[in-house]
Structure formats: structure tokens, C-alpha cells
Structure 1
Amino acid sequence: MRRGALLSSIAALRWSGNVRTTLYRELRCLITGGHLRAGSRLPSTRMLARDLGISRNSVLAAFERLTAEGLIVSRHGSGSFVSRFAAGKKPHRAAIEHDPHLRVARRRETSEPRDVRPAAEHFPLDAWQRCMRAVANSLVAGDLHHDVAPALQCAIAEHLAATRGVRCDARQVAVFNTKREAIEFAMRVATDRGDAVASTDPDDLVELATVLGVRVVDRDATPQLMHCTSFAESRRDVLAIASRAHAWVLEDDAYGHFATDPTLYSGDRHGRVLYLGTFADVLHPVEIAFLVLPERLATSVRSGVSVFDQHVLAAFIAGGYLAAHMRRLRAMIAARREALLRDLCATGCEIIVRPLHIELRGDRDTTRIPLADLFPPNADAITGSRRIA
């Protein structure tokens, strides 16, 4: 597709809602549909913004999401190009069990849970220390009287609105030391002793359920709380089931900082969804987690998180350091994904790039390589001794 045709296609869009999301979805559709061929050079972000009459920041945000998904690659000094794995002919299908790469992947799927966090060397220590000094110099005694720092509630609410389409009042944000604390709180406020809880990943809830006196049931039962991860195949049905059963939904947005699919929370019209997120996946060892609560549950929530740490994280987000850190992580993951795909092309399997995983389809089986495997130290194990960097 030539530049003129590309611009005509995009210009015909109705720029309603979030401009960057609309542009991202249109470009993604053109790429995955084969209208933009593999290797095609995209217009520069400055030129595309000028021709479409939108801000360059919107174009940059759309390009970042496409890069994170492995659909486009950026080459310094040359521009952005459609990835050769995103469009065009699909590789020849082959039996998965005959390929050594996939045997490694299958063994990893059945092994112990992986550490899905970036290695400590990727932590933005300089920026974090800068925020610590700024907070130490600006805090006053009155700031220490709050269990939850309003500055962090506001920062998280603004961050979620910009990155995940989650729109809420800052007072709906509750902050916790860990993700487990947040899940326990959600189960306490949404269930009573003896209630049923359904989960797409029930093993994570069994211990808590025992402590709280609730039952973990399968999807065929009628629960009071439905725990749903970002990977659940049946996510689209969850809101309908919750509405019929007058149940609550705990949306565990795993990899929320990298995900592009709409959240359940953003599609909730009845105030049934509790949205769960964490910073541990991108800011380890910072384990702070949060819940966005429906208004009827958003009463005063005490937080055990250090007020100082809350203010530091708020400054880190508000100062743009989190956004910059995410850009670096996405570039790192995109590079590793590109290298991994080059190795996997030799398998002869059909390769499908998803936002949070890579699918390898053979004649009789499908294997998923999740986003976690693109973080070190997991990356090396994918293709044996070959280093992915």
C-alpha cells in the first residue's frame, strides 16, 4: 500500500474517543490483514501526524504499541518498517513434536511458575533515587497523616486512563504492599463466608479461600466472585455472567503494562468489576499493587504501604519516568521477540504474534511462548544455548 492510499484509509476514520487507540487499531488491521506488506516502510511519525492533523504524541503512542506487539520494527536513522513476521505468507505448517525448539517450550509450560519480572539491572535506579530525594525535601508532617497518599491515587488513575482506558475517580484507587494483599482484600469485600469463588487460575486462590472460608468452584457453578486473568479465553463472557448472577468480577490484568486488549473494567456498565494491577512486573523490587474499586465498594481503605514509598512512586509516575522506563522495556522485548522469531522460523510451524505471547501452530498441537520468556533470565532457555538479545 502506497503512502497516499495509507493516508486515505486512515483519514476516512472517525476520530472519536482516544485518537492514539483508533490509529493503533487501524494500522494493526492493515498490517495483520496483509494490506501493508512485510518490510514496507511506514511514514515518519512527524509526517503522519501532519498529514492526518493529529498530534505527534498520538502517532508515537500508536507506533510504540505496534512495536511492543512485534508488528513493526524501528531502525535508528532509517524509520519504522512492517515486521516480516507480521504480514505476508505464513510459514509451512509442521508437526510440533518433531522440533527441538518446541519441546523446550512445552517443558517450560509444565514447569514451576516463572519469574515474570525484568531482572534487577533493568530497574531505573537513578530516576527512582531522584524521586526519593525530591520527596524527602518536599514532604511535610501533614502528608504523613494519610494512610493512602492522594498523590499516588491521582497518579495511578491518570496512568490507567492513558494506558489502559480505565477511567475512574482517584478515590476509587486502593493501594497495597503486594498483589496477594490486594486479592485478599478484594475477596474480603466481595464475598461472605461460605460464598463461592470461580477463577480461571484457581490454584492461586485455594490457600486464601481456605483462610477466608469461601469455596473455589468451577466455571459451571454460580459464584459470588469471578477471578479472571488477562489470559482467559472466556473473558468476553464474564461480564454477561456476572450481570445475570449479580456477581463481582476481579479482573487480574496480568502484564497490564504491555497489554493492548480492552479491559473488562472499561466495558463494565453495571459497576461489577474490581480492577487489579501491580508494578512488580516492570519495577521489581517495587511490589506495590492496586485495586480500582466500584464506587459502591470504594469506602475508606487503610493502606499498609509506607507513605514515603507511595509519594516516591507518585513522583516517579507523574514525572514521566514510568513512561520512559516502559518505552525502554518495550524496545528490549521487541528486540528479543524479533530474535526469537528468527530462530523459530526454522521450525516450519505457523507463527502467530500476539500482544502477550507467541503462538506456534503445528499439525496436531499449539504451543504458546508467553511474554515472561522474553525477560532475562528466561530468554536464554527458549532456544537452548543461543542468546536472545
Structure 2
Amino acid sequence: MKDKKIYFNIVLTVVVSYILIKLIDNYNYFFDVITLLLSLLTPFVIAFILAYILNPIVNLLEKKLKIKRIFSLFITYGFFVLLLGASILFTVPSIVSSLADIVNQLPVYATQTQEFLISFVESLKHVDPNTLKDVANKTMAAMPEFSNIFIGYIGNIFNTTFSIGKFIVQLGLAFIICFYILLEKESFITFSKKLVYILLGEKFGKFTLDVCSTLNSNIGKYFSGKILDSAIVGILSAIGLYFVGSKYALLFGTLVGFMNLIPYFGPVIGMAPVVIINLFYSPKIALFSLIYLILVQQLEVAIIEPKIVGGQLGLSPFLTILAVTIGGGFFGIPGMILSVPIMGVLKIYIVEFIDSKQINLNN
């Protein structure tokens, strides 16, 4: 009997090792399958995000104004589609035009930077100007080529990962899925709970539903508030940059608003292009733009964010920076945005676990 058990363990180890080796050898195939699955699930992800955004409006119409849910959904969808359409109509052409202009101006920026470096090198009396001039020339000579590479890279992104037709289809499916999620959300929640209990059992099912409830209450509120907060920051930034005479005010306002979703690092990332691009046109405007954006960020930190987002996650600056660093390292900008609310939920359960142990630190 013991020999059979040993033989079985050996066979099992060999089989598992063989499967792992095959997985490693054919990792590209499995990555392609995962990419395909994620692509198929994209409309559902967008639908749940839309449900988070639209659900408070539907609840307001249904519970406060006593409008039937189906009509509340139609009113909400109509308002949202009009708002989205107006935003696309009035902002997207200008943003695309600004992006194209920046790409076209890259060789000009490179030339101006090269001239600045040369003049700076020549001002250094104690250093051999010819040597540093050669270094600057060789470094900046690659900038025109960089602009061509950048243009080609942007084209590849749009051709391979951001197909307009594909995105429109996914967005349309997401709106349909979101509509039925909100229309039958009670039935959807009840069915999901039953399925979780069947698959995981009572103990793990209860824990899973508790985690989902915590995620819903924390992440949902955080994103709803943070999106509104960032939208206000973006609008204030665009208006202010326009009046100080900044180039590409609408594009930069949109960038600042989007980057504001990332705690701590986001505002700096959003401000940097504003200052750098404006330096090529007017150092004075670049300085005014920087001062104005800093004032907007101070206003956001002191008034806007506490009122809209609040402190429901309860994360210290250390944990927030840690979350953003880890999330950004693994998943880039989306990871930086998602990491903060996820860290907030993890903190809740870690604190509960530590408190349950009742450790006496005086011993």
C-alpha cells in the first residue's frame, strides 16, 4: 500500500512537471488566449463601470422623484448620451488636433533644445565647448528621428489596440449590458449570491460576498467621487490655462484631470508637459501655468477632494504611495489608479485580522 502511494506521488509529480514545462514552452499561446478572453470581457468591465456611475442617478430618480425604474433608466441614458455626445463633439476634434500639432512640432522643439544646449555649453568657460557641443549635437541629432518613431508608434497603437470600430462596438454592448444590470439589479445580485454559495460553500461563500460588499461600498464610492473630483480639476485647469495664454489648453486640462486620478504622482505627471511645451513658446506663460496648476491642486487637496471623495479609504500617505508604486510597476497607469482603493480594502481585512488576534505588546 505504501509502495503504491509512493508510486502515485512520483507519477503525479512527473505529470504536473510535464504540464508546467509545456505551459512555459508555449507561454505565448496562453498569453494570446488570456488576451482574447480579456478582450471578450471588456464590454462587461465597461458595463460595470457605467453601472457604478449611473446607478446613483437612477436611484435618485426612482426613490426621490418616484419615477419607475424603466423610465428612470431612459432619462438617465438620454442625459448621459447627450452629455457624452456633446463632450465628444466639442472636445475630441480639438484634442486630436492638438496632439497632431505637438507631434509635428517635435523637430522644432528638438532644434530649439539643441540651440539652447549649444549656447549653454558655450557659456561654460572652464569646460571645452567643442567637446560638449559635439555631445549635444550627437544627442539632439536623434530627435527628428524620434518624432518619426513616435508618429509610427502612435499609428500602431491606434491600428492594433484602439480600433475605433472595435471600441464603438464594445461601448455599445456595454451600454446594453449596463441597462439590464441596472434594470434587474436585485435579481442579478440574488442570482450571484446563490451561485457563490453553490460554488464555494457557506463559509467561503459568506466571506467572498463580504469582500464583494466591501469592494462595492469602498471602491464604488471612491471612483464615483474621484471621477467627479478629477473632472472639476480638469475643467478648472483648462479654463485657467486658456486665460493665462497656454498652448493646447483643452488638451492639457484633459490630461491634468485624467492624471489627477493618480494620487501624489498624478498631478506632477500632468503638470510636466504643460510647463515643458509652453517653455518653447513663452517661459513667462510656462511659469504662470505652473503657478496656476499648483493653486488648483492646493484647492483640490484642501476643499474639493475632502468634500467629494472624503476619507472613506483611510489610507496613510505611506500606504498610498506604496500602493501607487506597486500598481504602477505591474500594470502602468491603470494599476496606479486601481491600486489605491484595492489597498484600502486590503487594509480593512488586515486590520480586522490583526485586531482579532488581540496581541499584547507589553509582554
Normalised to the residue count of structure 2, the TM-score between the two structures is 0.23
Normalised to the residue count of structure 1, the TM-score between the two structures is 0.22
More helix by share: 2
More strand by share: 1
Higher relative CO (Cα under 8 Å, sequence separation at least 6) belongs to 1
